[in-house]
Each structure stands twice: as C-alpha cells, then as structure tokens.
Structure 1
Amino acid sequence: MLRTVLFDFDGTLADTLPLIYRSFCEVFRRFGEEELDDAGIAARFGPPEEVILERCLPRHCLQQAHDVYFQLYREHHTRLVRSDEAVLELLNWLKERGANVGVVTGKGRRSAAISAELLGMDGLVDWWVTGTEIKRYKPEPDGIRLAMRHFGARPEETVYVGDMSVDVMAGKAAGVSTVGVCWFAKEKTCSFQPEPDAVFSEVKAFRRWLEERLD
C-alpha cells in the first residue's frame, strides 16, 4: 500500500514548458553569445535555471541575467502556464486521504515558489525538493531519496510520478513505484524508456489507480 506520492513538477503538475522556453530565449538573446531555440534549451535541462545560466553565459552578466529570467518567469506565468483543475483536485484529495505529498523537481527553488504561489499549490504540497537542494539531478535518484528521508517513507510505500523517461529512471533507481503521465501533452501518446509501472493520459484515471493502493 502507498503512503507517499511524489511528483515531478514541469509537465506533470503544470504545463510550464512554454514559459520556461520563453524566459530562457529572451535571456539568451539579451546576454548570450548565441541565441537558442526551444530544442537547444531543452538539451540543457536537468539542473536548475541558475546553473544552466552559469554554464551558458559570461560571468560578468550572470546576476543581471538571473534577475531578468525570474522577472520574465513571473511576468508571463499566468499567460503561458497551462494548469488543470483536476490536478489541484488530486492534490486536495491526497491531502484529505492523509497521504504524504511531495514534489521532486529539477527546477530551482525560486521558480518553484513562484509557480506554487500563482497556481494555488501552496499548502497542497507537504515538501519540495528542488534542484537547488541537490548536486546530482535526474536520472540520479538523489532528490527522491531526500524526499523519502524527510517523510520517513519506505520504497514499497512510495510512488514517483513524472512525464519524462528520466523521471522513470530516477524512480527505479530509488526503488520506488513509477508512474508516467502525459495529460499535458498535445498528443496523448505516452512513451517511456524504461517502462514505468503504470501510464496515464488522464488525471482521473490516475486517481482511480491510487484509490486502490493508498494506505
């Protein structure tokens, strides 16, 4: 039986990719030696935003680049981020059931706090592990293991939910159950390597799966 449900954030609890691409593109246009398209930005995903900028931009403009990125992230959040009321209902339901609810994400603490505030998720997540708190990023299991230690959770009582193969890889490396989701994808065709324990394209179907497994 499950007691702890851990989620990835970007693409899992909210469709934040358009905002992330928009913010990075503008920052690289202003401060970078080359402009990056969405594919070029996605290729650098893994660490938090601050680390990506540090790896790609000259040192002398880093502080200004950081400030501009997070200004853009907040300014365009409401317009560019797609959320789903069913996701908020799921988090509320998990809290009512007494489950431990955590987020393990590669995004930094600062952007995570902005999104949690603007999406109304403050108070619905018990514990956040962001890329700011860890040194090794997914597919390494460090973030998941840190969240499990916080909750005192055993692997057999824990599930990790994400929208990318690296999420499944990290969950398996941590020894927990894994769920792949694609409810924010334009094409509701979920494909993961390796295969997770379950795959869902609708939030309600995932909730029914949890109902059978929650302690």
Structure 2
Amino acid sequence: MTLLELFQLLKRHVKLVVALPLVCAVAMGVFSFVAMDDAYTAQTSMYILANEDTSQGQSTYYNDLNASQLLANDIATLLNSDRVSADAAKALGLESLADYDASVTSETTTRVVSLAVTGPDPDETAAVANEMARQVSIVAQEIEMADSINVIDEAVSPDAPSGPNRTLYVAVAFLAGLFLAVAIVVLMDMLNTRVRSAEEVEELLDVSVIGRFPTMKEGR
C-alpha cells in the first residue's frame, strides 16, 4: 500500500480517524483529573562540612574536588537510606515515608547536595524534606562521615503541584488513539476481500474489462 492509497483509505474513514483520538484524549483527561491526585515537590539544599583530620599535626580538609564529590555521593546515599527515612518519619509522627519520593542530586565540583521530596500534601512534603536534611546531619556526625551538614535553603511549601503532567498524558492518549484508528482502518481494508476496482478484476481473472455498469442512485 502506497502513501497515497493510505491517505485515500483514511479519507473514506475520516469519522473514525477523527473520533477515536478525541475519545481517547477526553477519556484520559477525565481520568487524570478524577483518579490522579496532585503531587507537590519541595526542595532543600545542604552544604557538607567535612571532617577535620589532625593525624599529621595540622588541620587538613577535603579540598580536593574528587574527594569532595565522593563525600557528596556518600551523603546522597545516606539520604536514601532506611535509617534516615525511619528517623525522619518518627520525628514527624508518621508511620513511614512510603507516600513520599525523595530524589538526591550532588554537584560535581562542590559539596552541595540537593534533596527534592515529592508527596501528596505541600506542607507535609516541605516538612519531610527539612526533617530528612536534619536527620542526615545527625547520622553523618554519628558515623563520623562529616562534621555537619548545614542547610543552605530550607524547603518551603510549594504553591502549585508539580504533577501529574496531565497535558502530556492527554497528548499521548490522542496520539495513541490516532495510531489505533489508522491500524483499525488498515486492518479492515486487509480483511475486506471484495473486488473494488477494474484493475483488481484484471489481476484476479487475467481478463480485460470491456464494460462497466454505471452506479445507480435513487432508483435511476
């Protein structure tokens, strides 16, 4: 099937090609607003104050960029640990932080670590982010990973939800409906075994067409 033939085929079934994507888009829009809850993201950033080493009689710090990055990676791993999550949940009076998704990023040339927490409530999400930052500092000092972890920017309650991206979901549903409509039209054409043109008659019967009956409309 050529591209021109496909366009002609879609033109004959234009109602299906238009209606099905619209139905899918509307259905996804209704579902996203009714069944999908808003999610809020609060972010805080921390600076890692490294341990002081006096083993050689002088104060030395992690001033090498590679060492700083390794320390930042260690703190990022610690933020994702069960210990920090459990301690933060206990301090906030929550059973767990299962409803919250924490994402940690660290800069490649500094000791700054950023923590983003996504949850169902804006105020509680900000509280969880700040408490996790506080707990990771406590744990890091207990295990002598760092002297302290100082919060640069405390998390604040977000004014608007960060998700779900309903526009994207609707667009994907529309494209999926369009693809499905095209697939249905092509499949219907493949399953249609009727002879629809003189060229098909000549190809199937190996005879030449010498005449045609005109199309009759309204009994004439």
TM-score under structure 1 normalisation? 0.24
**Does 1 or 2 have the higher relative contact order (CA < 8 Å, sep 6+)?**
2
TM-score under structure 2 normalisation? 0.24
Larger Rg: 2
